[in-house]
Amino acid sequence: MTRNPDAPAVGRRAQALLDRPEGHALFLDIDGTLLEMAPTPDMVQVPPALPALLGELVVRLDGAVALLTGRRIASADCLLQPLRLIASGVHGTELRSEPGGEIAMLAPPIPPAMAAAVAALGGRAEGILVERKGAGIAVHYRHAPHARDRLVTELRAIVATDAGFVLREGRMVLEIGPGGFSKGSALALLHARPPFAGRRPVMIGDDVGDESALREAERRGGVALRVAGEHFSAANADFAGVDAVRAFLTTFAARPSASPMTRGARGEWRRAPAGGRER
């Protein structure tokens, strides 16, 4: 992707949020938004300051921060420890509705026969990685881009055997999961609950899988902010890349908050009582 060096790293819509940060709720993708893409999901690099930054955002927004990720929530926890944020995983099929709480499975695991058929595709070409993800299964082809068309054909045939499942495309990944679930459905579910209810949703994402949540945020009167990369062009994005997202979030978190919160023993954030000290 070629970017105009004179273009701002953070667009005007994102800058406008910094002028009036009150009353918002943040919904954040991880890969390609908070973290740079990596050759494989387990090779991503997490900046040491990122967990603390996310914790500061939770404080700033009275807890109204959630991760909407294609990863399993347990995977996100490993990356961002010690935080255990409110989160939706595997495109809406996993949910943790409270910081530090249990993870609920909203859809059953992918059927064994379907999982086996997808797993067999791992041998089609060197560099293909098959990742089982509970209710979904992903085929990464970043190291075998020439295999994409064949993989799409074979995965479509597998999906056609069960009307309850759909094929999703992402950044050098193809994924089968249950229909009726998405990051958009996850945003809608969380936005109806405290601490998100009544706040203006802000979704930040970079990929095809984020589009349903970007649309849902706008449908609810919120803001959809796009990150430039392999999916969104620089001309149509609000952020030049991951660094610009993190810089924006750092500035956002630095805005003073009138509602102090403290962190509990499990990494959860909760509002401090009057006087600012937790008992």
> What residues act catalytically?
29
CATH class of 12-106+181-256: alpha beta
Question: Smallest Cα–Cα separation from 225: which of 22, 7, 6, 33?
Answer: 33
Domain 112-178 has CATH 2.40.128: no
Q: Mean pLDDT, the chain, as a whole number? A: 89
φ, ψ (nearest 5 deg) of residue 72: -70, 150
pLDDT at residue 176 is higher than 50: yes
Residue tagged 């910094």 (tokens): 18
pTM of the full structure:
0.88
CATH 3.40.50.1000 placement within the chain: 12-106+181-256
User: Given this model, what pLDDT does residue 258 score?
Assistant: 52
What tens digit of pLDDT does each residue of 256-268 get?
755 444 445 444 4
CATH 3.30.1360 placement within the chain: 112-178
φ, ψ (nearest 5 deg) of residue 144: -145, 60
CB atoms within 10 A of CB 266: 11
CB contact at 8 A, 26 and 66: yes
User: Given this model, what pLDDT does residue 161 score?
Assistant: 93
Q: What does the pLDDT average to over 196-225? A: 97
Q: What does the pLDDT average to over 46-74? A: 96
pLDDT at residue 104 is higher than 50: yes
> Please, what's the largest Cα pairwise distance for the chain?
63
Distance in angstroms (rounded) separating the CA atoms of residues 216 and 25: 13
Strand order in the sheet with 173-178: 129-133, 136-140, 173-178, 165-170
What share of the chain in percent tops pLDDT 90?
80
Q: What does the pLDDT average to over 98-113? A: 96
Sign for the pseudo-dihedral over CA of 234, 51, 202, 274? negative
pLDDT at residue 141 is higher than 80: yes
CB contact at 8 A, 114 and 121: no
Strand order in the sheet with 65-68: 104-105, 94-96, 86-89, 65-68, 24-28, 200-205, 223-226
CB contact at 8 A, 72 and 133: yes
